Amino acid sequence: MLAALLSEIPYWGQSLLRVLGGLVAVLLPAGTVVYLFLFKMMSFMQSRLGPMEAGPYGSMQLFAEVGKWLQKEDIVPDAAAPEARIFKLAPLIVLASTFLLVVVVPFGPDALFTNFETGIFYALAVSSVSVLGILIAGWSSANKYSLLGGLRAAGQLVAYELPMVLAVVGVVIQAGTMNLQQIVVAQNTGSIFGFDGVGNPYVITQFVAFIVFMIAVQAELTQTPFDMPIAESELVSGYMTEYSGFRFLIFFIGEFATAGVFSMIASILFLGGWGVPFSWFGWTTIDSIDNWMNVGGPLILFTKMLVLVFFIMWIRFSFPRFREDQLQRFAWKGLIPIALANIMLTAVLKVAF
């Protein structure tokens, strides 16, 4: 097994592999999401072709964009200069939360960074670290638009954190564990009323939670119906206004890497993660899984992630944005009661069956 193989590598080697794996796990989804959805899908939905010049079908456009950002001047506004260190730190905090998030994502039976017992709890806690970065960015820019954007972002992320957590609680109750790996196993070994042909992906039994979770993810990522904090037409990109060059790039990577990682977590919670229904191959427990799943698992997870990101981006490109009060009302009066009702129903059914 892979785990045995890994333990023969010295500690520094393991750490290096983990860092490289983390970079790949963050940057690969981000790049794919930006090229496939932001460049191509958005263009096609607007009846144009998008970037076509850099590489075949513009596939090298990302490298061109990154190169462009890297050569730009790193500007710190005069008013922000006294706290320049904090100003410069903010994008890194946002990106760090993405890296911390990917740590608990299981990619295969052995292909994972850590096997936290309380994985989903940790993931939800760490994902709110990015709010700090955004708030710091908005405040330290010494610009009223940035401050407004930062405060709106903080208010929105706090409001949508709650339905997200509550939606996850339903899954946790049904799976009986907070460990993401075991949630995957529970879905793929489970059965719906004795029928185990497709396992028991929680998107079926926890459909309400899935919808609430995806809406909350949309808001957490500040994608379009919920992009009041960014609002390029009124706040000139909110907390990102004063950032240029590679610090803006880091915000940008952070946004789309988080979209990828959140979709991975959503597919783990609701779509069965890296696994295929174990009964297809005659597996019973996680230890009896064939080794090829360590390669196949990440690919399956990646595919499911792309499907979910497709929906996130589809909604992003179709709808105009909510007003600030509509946005808050939707979270507090709409999503949270639904999520609470879902928890109660799940708990009752869990005890009943």
Stretch that binds other proteins, among 37-45, 85-93, 129-137, 290-298 (CB under 8 A): 37-45
The residue (of 41 and 300) whose beta carbon lies closer to other proteins is 41
| 41 is a site residue for other proteins (CB under 8 A) | yes
Largest CA distance in the chain: 67
CB of residue 351 to other proteins, shortest distance in Å = 32
The residue (of 64 and 86) whose beta carbon lies closer to other proteins is 64
CB of residue 214 to other proteins, shortest distance in Å = 14
| 56 is a site residue for other proteins (CB under 8 A) | no
CB of residue 46 to other proteins, shortest distance in Å = 7
Query: CA angle 52-55-57, nearest 5°?
Result: 40
Structure tokens at 317: 């490109």
Structure tokens at 316: 């992003």
Among the listed residues 13, 55, 82, 334, the single contact to other proteins using CB under 8 A? 334
SS3 247: helix
Kindly give, in sequence order, each residue whose CB lies less than 8 Å from that of residue 211, ignoring residues fewer than 6 positions away. Answer: none
Stretch that binds other proteins, among 42-50, 86-94, 124-132, 293-301 (CB under 8 A): 42-50
| 48 is a site residue for other proteins (CB under 8 A) | yes
Number of residues that bind other proteins (CB under 8 A): 17
Query: How far apart (Å, rounded) are the C-alpha atoms in residues 100 and 120?
Result: 12
Structure tokens at 78: 């005069």
SS3 242: coil
Distance of alpha carbon 289 from its chain centroid, rounded? Answer: 27
The residue (of 144 and 333) whose beta carbon lies closer to other proteins is 333
Task: For tokens 């080794």, name the residue.
Answer: 291
Which residues, 238 to 257, sit near other proteins by CB under 8 A?
none
H helices then E strands: how many in the chain? 15, 0
| 125 is a site residue for other proteins (CB under 8 A) | no
CB of residue 339 to other proteins, shortest distance in Å = 17
The residue (of 247 and 316) whose beta carbon lies closer to other proteins is 316
Distance of alpha carbon 200 from its chain centroid, rounded? Answer: 23
Which residues, 314 to 333, sit near other proteins by CB under 8 A?
314-315, 317-319, 329, 333
Query: How far apart (Å, rounded) are the C-alpha atoms in residues 236 and 85?
Result: 23
Contact 172, 180 (CB under 8 A): no
Query: How far apart (Å, rounded) are the C-alpha atoms in residues 283 and 281?
Result: 6
The residue (of 38 and 96) whose beta carbon lies closer to other proteins is 38
Stretch that binds other proteins, among 43-51, 110-118, 130-138, 228-236 (CB under 8 A): 43-51
Contact 170, 207 (CB under 8 A): no
| 60 is a site residue for other proteins (CB under 8 A) | no
Structure tokens at 325: 């009060």
Q: Which residues bind other proteins (CB under 8 A)?
A: 41, 43-49, 52, 314-315, 317-319, 329, 333-334
